[in-house]
């Protein structure tokens, strides 16, 4: 039985916590480990360590920081398969998906390797006679990263490479459902030469999060998770005077115009709807079919769904289990709700047959969904795809813009002008054009609009560098040597 402990000051803590959580293998349904839960005393101890480490790390040279980052990058790359296996064992996603998320995280490390360039400030000479002004960006102090279950490696890696590169110390509070990837990454940081205490991992639930939110030593929090908790973290963190970015839930629409390439569209709907069992914040959850496209598109999607294999992510399946039994049952309850509300159940994933007691639910498709239904309004976060039929582009746009979430969206069309208009008019933070999931690119910033993000700052890219630093402007006057003072051999003014 695996026992996951906190990682503080460069090693696992020796004692065992009073409260613990169970870790499951979702493909077998069995408990495979326990994870310690931090209380406020543990959080306080971790923050003290991080504060002490910050005092020296912030003064480490850019050259030193970049050397550590490059070493970390190499170690993550070499260990990609091992990290992917840890993710699959606790999350359930298929191995190729798990390896893919490590790659996406690595890209942020690579971005952070360029930190000397990214931290360069501006300089204006002679703003007044003999006066220069320049700007510098400095680290904040200990920062916390609180992450969701669905990307146990990638989401923390959206933040910590940049936080560390800019001179902060970090406390990661990963999801208690799949904590092992963060622990593995902690060991790699140590091997890469990061000083002890700069990167710490504490585990836990609400108690740990609440303690981080009010601790005066924590200067900023990067949170990713569901919208109610994101809002809670934003409100309470800002009340405690912290800088907060809190990324929340999603309901991503894929608008299909009648001129779209339907083979590409159907492939995309399958990948984005059912990849990672729909447990992605950029999953496509709603296909908005602009008539007369719906019948043909649904036929193509249904045909492809029949070929999808649901099963153990280590055994070559296309789609793994859901993360917990509770979550599986919640997603299944939406299928019941959709039927009761009058939607047409085209494919029912509840009948999927997979050996063992895993948390299985097969790909599910609804047609004739309407905006009042809970399967449309709420984030399901599972392999349930809904089709809404609309008559025009305007109706489709209005639907997307009226939704409470604004994380990602896609449009499928062969008309560049229509796509251009959509990218301009849609009220969503990330837009795909003939691309279903605009994946995070490290050098751009990632984040949604409306109830999908609380705070002003998106993740990584230049916004990430700004989030983890604060600006200072220096106005400096150095008197010319001709002015007097110690005679350095310059001609003196009389």
Q: Which residues are catalytic?
A: 281
Q: Contact, 27 vs 358, CB < 8 A?
A: yes
381 forms part of the interface with ligand NAD (CB under 6 A): yes
Q: Exposed, middle or buried, 62 (CB in 10 Å: 0-12/13-18/19+)? A: middle
Structural tokens at position 139? 């680290």
Shortest approach of ligand NAD to residue 212 CB, angstroms? 9
Q: Which of residues 223-252 bind ligand NAD (CB under 6 A)?
A: 224-226, 229, 232, 247-250
Segment interacting with ligand NAD (CB under 6 A) among 6-14, 149-157, 164-172, 360-368: 149-157
Segment interacting with ligand NAD (CB under 6 A) among 172-180, 299-307, 352-360, 468-476: 172-180
Shortest approach of ligand NAD to residue 6 CB, angstroms? 14
147 forms part of the interface with ligand NAD (CB under 6 A): yes
CA distances from 480 to 120, 485, 489, 490 (A): 26, 10, 12, 9
Q: Contact, 335 vs 349, CB < 8 A?
A: yes
Q: Which of 19, 120, 206, 309 binds ligand NAD (CB under 6 A)?
A: 206
Half-sphere exposure of 180 (CA within 13 A, CB side): 20
- Residue of 267, 317, 304, 321 lying closest to 437 (CA atoms): 267
Rounded-to-integer distance, Cα 150 and Cα 379, Å: 14
Tokens 């092992």 — which residue? Answer: 180
Tokens 């930190």 — which residue? Answer: 115
Q: Which of residues 304-323 bind ligand NAD (CB under 6 A)?
A: none
149 forms part of the interface with ligand NAD (CB under 6 A): yes
DSSP state of 459: B
In degrees to the nearest 10, what's the CA dihedral of 324, 330, 332, 337?
-170
User: Looking at the DSSP assignment, which residues form a beta bridge with residue 199?
Assistant: 170
Q: Which is nearer to ligand NAD, 192 or 442 (CB)?
A: 442
Shortest approach of ligand NAD to residue 457 CB, angstroms? 13
37 forms part of the interface with ligand NAD (CB under 6 A): no
Q: Which is nearer to ligand NAD, 233 or 293 (CB)?
A: 233
Q: Which of 150, 200, 285, 413 binds ligand NAD (CB under 6 A)?
A: 150
Segment interacting with ligand NAD (CB under 6 A) among 16-24, 72-80, 144-152, 430-438: 144-152
- Residue of 138, 433, 380, 121 lying closest to 256 (CA atoms): 433
Q: Which is nearer to ligand NAD, 155 or 256 (CB)?
A: 155
Shortest approach of ligand NAD to residue 181 CB, angstroms? 13
Q: For the chain, how big is the Rg over CA atoms in Å?
A: 25
| DSSP class per residue in 30-44 | EEEEEEE---HHHHH
How long a stretch of residues is the chain?
494
Beta strands in 111-250 (DSSP E): 123-128, 131-139, 142-146, 169-173, 199-201, 220-224, 243-247
Binding mask 260-299 for ligand NAD (x = CB under 6 A): ---------------------x------------------
90 forms part of the interface with ligand NAD (CB under 6 A): no
Q: Which of 24, 72, 151, 454 binds ligand NAD (CB under 6 A)?
A: 151
Tokens 């146990």 — which residue? Answer: 152
172 forms part of the interface with ligand NAD (CB under 6 A): no
Structural tokens at position 333? 């309850």
Q: Which of 36, 90, 107, 176 binds ligand NAD (CB under 6 A)?
A: 176
Shortest approach of ligand NAD to residue 215 CB, angstroms? 14
Segment interacting with ligand NAD (CB under 6 A) among 71-79, 125-133, 221-229, 476-484: 221-229
Q: Which of 148, 338, 461, 464 binds ligand NAD (CB under 6 A)?
A: 148
Shortest approach of ligand NAD to residue 63 CB, angstroms? 33
Segment interacting with ligand NAD (CB under 6 A) among 173-181, 350-358, 360-368, 417-425: 173-181
Binding mask 384-423 for ligand NAD (x = CB under 6 A): -----------------------x----------------
Q: Which is nearer to ligand NAD, 142 or 249 (CB)?
A: 249
36 forms part of the interface with ligand NAD (CB under 6 A): no
In degrees to the nearest 10, what's the CA dihedral of 193, 178, 86, 172?
-10
Q: Contact, 360 vs 348, CB < 8 A?
A: no
Q: Contact, 69 vs 111, CB < 8 A?
A: no
- Residue of 36, 174, 152, 157 lying closest to 92 (CA atoms): 152
452 forms part of the interface with ligand NAD (CB under 6 A): yes
Q: List residues binding ligand NAD (CB under 6 A).
A: 146-151, 155, 173, 175-176, 205-206, 209, 224-226, 229, 232, 247-250, 281, 379, 381, 407, 448, 452
């Amino acid at each position: 039985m695996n026992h996951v402990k906190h990682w503080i000051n460069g090693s696992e803590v020796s004692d065992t916590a009073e409260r613990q959580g169970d870790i499951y293998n979702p493909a077998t349904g069995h408990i495979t480990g326990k994870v310690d839960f931090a209380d406020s005393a543990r959080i306080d101890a971790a923050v003290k360590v991080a504060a002490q480490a910050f005092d020296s790390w912030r003064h480490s040279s850019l050259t030193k920081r970049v050397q550590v980052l490059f070493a970390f990058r190499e170690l993550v790359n070499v260990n990609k398969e091992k990290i992917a296996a840890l993710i699959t064992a606790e999350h359930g996603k298929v191995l190729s998906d798990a390896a893919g998320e490590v790659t996406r995280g690595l890209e942020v490390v690579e971005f952070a390797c360029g930190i000397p360039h990214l931290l360069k400030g501006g300089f204006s000479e002679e703003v007044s006679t003999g006066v220069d002004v320049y700007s510098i960006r400095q680290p904040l102090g200990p920062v916390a990263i609180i992450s969701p279950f669905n990307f146990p490696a990638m989401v923390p890696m959206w933040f910590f490479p940049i936080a560390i590169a800019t001179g902060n110390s970090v406390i990661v509070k990963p999801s208690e459902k799949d904590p092992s990837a963060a622990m593995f990454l902690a060991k790699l940081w140590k091997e890469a030469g990061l000083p002890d205490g700069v990167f710490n991992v504490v585990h836990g639930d609400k108690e740990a999060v609440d303690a981080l939110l009010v601790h005066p030593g924590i200067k900023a929090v990067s949170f990713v998770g569901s919208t109610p908790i994101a809002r809670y973290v934003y409100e309470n963190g800002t009340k405690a005077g912290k800088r907060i970015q809190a990324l929340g839930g999603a309901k991503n629409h894929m608008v299909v115009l009648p001129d779209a390439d339907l083979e590409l569209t159907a492939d995309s709907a399958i990948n984005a709807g059912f990849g990672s069992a729909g447990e992605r914040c950029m999953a496509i959850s709603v296909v908005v079919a602009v008539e007369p496209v719906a019948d043909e598109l649904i036929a193509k999607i249904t045909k492809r769904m029949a070929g999808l294999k649901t099963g153990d992510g280590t055994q070559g399946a296309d789609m793994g289990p859901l993360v917990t039994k509770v979550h599986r049952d919640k997603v299944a309850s939406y299928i019941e709700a959709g039927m009761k509300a009058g939607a047409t159940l085209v494919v029912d994933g509840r009948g999927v047959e997979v050996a063992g007691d895993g948390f299985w639910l097969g790909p599910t498709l609804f047609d004739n969904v309407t905006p009042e239904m809970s399967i449309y309004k709420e984030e399901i976060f599972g392999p349930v795809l809904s089709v809404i039929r609309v008559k025009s582009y305007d109706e489709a746009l209005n639907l997307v813009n009226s939704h409470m979430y604004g994380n990602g969206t896609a449009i499928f069309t062969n008309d560049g002008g229509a796509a251009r208009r959509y990218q301009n008019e849609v009220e969503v933070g990330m837009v795909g054009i003939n691309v279903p999931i605009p994946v995070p690119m490290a050098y751009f910033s990632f984040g949604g609009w409306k109830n999908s993000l609380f705070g002003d700052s998106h993740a990584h890219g230049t916004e990430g560098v700004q989030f983890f630093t604060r600006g200072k402007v220096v106005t400096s006057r150095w008197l010319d040597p001709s002015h007097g003072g110690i005679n350095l051999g310059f001609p003196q003014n009389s």
